[in-house]
Amino acid sequence: MKSEGFRQPFIAQGLYMTSPDLAQTIQEVRDKALEELQGLASEEELESWRILYLGRRGRLTSVLRSLGSLSQEERRVVGAQANQVKALLEESLAQAEGQVKESRIAGLAQEEQIDVTRPGRSVALGRFHPLTQILREICDAFVAMGFQIVEGPEVEWDHYNFELLNIPRDHPARDMWNTLWIDYRDEKGEQPMLLRTHTSPMQARTMERMKPPVRVIVPGKCYRYEATDATHEWHFYQVEGLAVDDGITFADLKGTLYEFARRIFGADRRVRFRCDYFPFVEPGVDMSIDCFACKGQGCRICQETGWIEILGAGMVHPKVLEGVGYDPSVYTGFAFGLGPERIAMLKYGIEDIRLFYSNDLRFLRQF
């Protein structure tokens, strides 16, 4: 900031003659202020400068206050000059503020400059776990056939997991489900608690809540105290299905499950039903699909049978209907419980069920 243009009129008006000390002080304050102002580069520094020279207790303001000790004539001349200096400092400050602001904006623009020729940064996209994908596909297939999705607790009472399913205590059929028990009982100390071994407890829970017609599927996690191998995990998903109404027959069960297999695997895949025993259905069956690896010839994956079992099913046992207050002479129904891991293995040709739970990104990224 140049101060030459100011000095000339200041001296020319003869201040030295009227009040030399005060005029000298004003000039010194002005020179010092303008000199300091030149080195300031930030808004904070400018504000400190303003307070130092122009603030209520600033240096120039103190000079102005001392004008009162001069004679009236001196006060008029020196006061006018002091006001001129004040105006000069204010104007210089405004200019300096403008410059600081401009260079801040220029700096920002420099920082934010975009080089459109640089290659973009790739965005890492997540994906659904293959089991989430297959669960959704399975649910979609049944929803399209008129089923409704419900969910239930993974920590369950013995009552629902076994008793209401026609598996009383000490019944040998309990050995079919190696159970993980929880060290907790109900208030009366009678009901043991467990991690549900299948999604079938939701059959009873659903019928307790709903009146026929019932058509539900129940996706969810199950737990068994079992050794793992290529087709067995100790925790796995199941999707339970239940349809109850008057007049439902075994033909409905077969038709529904054939249609499900066709939707998931296509029309070419072979399906096999065999008699099986589950205490809560009569008659009971299991359904298998021909092995994806050996095309039914027999291999390690299908334990040399050529088939991989994907579900258990059957007509709901009259005792189960009675247990939830349905009249078995009026209502009949079918139920099934299928294993999504095994279905995903068959569909995608996965050789070991444990891959689903090993968190290996090389495996997961293939889906």
Cis bond upstream, residue 168 (ω within 30): no
Judged on CB neighbours under 10 Å (0-12, 13-18, 19+), 272 is middle
Q: How many other CB atoms are there within 10 angstroms of residue 168's CB atom?
A: 11
> In this chain, which of 15, 339, 345, 356 binds ligand FA5, going by CB under 6 A?
339
247 closest CA partner among 148, 319, 329: 329
Tokens of 67: 């004008």
- The reply to whether 198 belongs to the active site is yes
Q: Kindly determine how many residues on this chain lie close enough to bind ligand FA5 according to the rule CB under 6 A.
A: 25
Rounded Cα distance between 326 and 67, Å, is 106
Q: Among 78, 239, 261, 281, which one carries the catalytic annotation?
A: 281
Q: Does 342 bind ligand FA5 (CB under 6 A)?
A: yes
Tokens of 196: 């549900």
Rounded Cα distance between 324 and 318, Å, is 10
- The reply to whether 209 belongs to the active site is no
Q: Does 232 bind ligand FA5 (CB under 6 A)?
A: yes
Stretch that binds ligand FA5, among 19-27, 30-38, 119-127, 276-284 (CB under 6 A): 276-284
> In this chain, which of 29, 134, 264, 335 binds ligand FA5, going by CB under 6 A?
335
Stretch that binds ligand FA5, among 2-10, 82-90, 105-113, 224-232 (CB under 6 A): 224-232
Angstrom distances, CA of residue 195 to CA of 86, 150, 175, 235: 85, 18, 15, 10
Tokens of 189: 């100390």
- The reply to whether 148 belongs to the active site is no
Q: Does 337 bind ligand FA5 (CB under 6 A)?
A: yes
Q: Which is nearer to ligand FA5, 92 or 233 (CB)?
A: 233
Sheet-wide strand order for 307-316: 148-149, 214-223, 235-245, 332-338, 307-316, 281-290, 271-276
Q: Which is nearer to ligand FA5, 61 or 228 (CB)?
A: 228
350 closest CA partner among 260, 199, 233: 233
Angstrom distances, CA of residue 36 to CA of 29, 97, 290: 11, 14, 90
Q: Does 238 bind ligand FA5 (CB under 6 A)?
A: yes
Stretch that binds ligand FA5, among 78-86, 262-270, 329-337, 344-352 (CB under 6 A): 329-337
Window 278 to 297, contacts with ligand FA5 (CB under 6 A): 278, 281, 284
For residue 174, give the amino acid letter. Answer: R
Minimum CB–partner distance for residue 133 and ligand FA5 (Å): 17
Q: Among 23, 49, 157, 177, which one carries the catalytic annotation?
A: 177
Q: Among 30, 59, 198, 317, which one carries the catalytic annotation?
A: 198
- The reply to whether 335 belongs to the active site is yes
Minimum CB–partner distance for residue 342 and ligand FA5 (Å): 4
For residue 15, give the amino acid letter. Answer: L
- The reply to whether 238 belongs to the active site is yes
Q: Does 236 bind ligand FA5 (CB under 6 A)?
A: yes
196 closest CA partner among 170, 227, 214, 218: 218
Q: Which residues contact 125 (CB under 8 A, 6 or more apart)?
A: none
Stretch that binds ligand FA5, among 143-151, 188-196, 225-233, 323-331 (CB under 6 A): 225-233
Q: Does 224 bind ligand FA5 (CB under 6 A)?
A: yes
Residues that bind ligand FA5 (CB under 6 A): 198, 200, 224, 226, 232-233, 236, 238, 278, 281, 284, 309-314, 335-339, 341-342, 353
Active-site amino acid positions: 177, 198, 224, 238, 281, 335
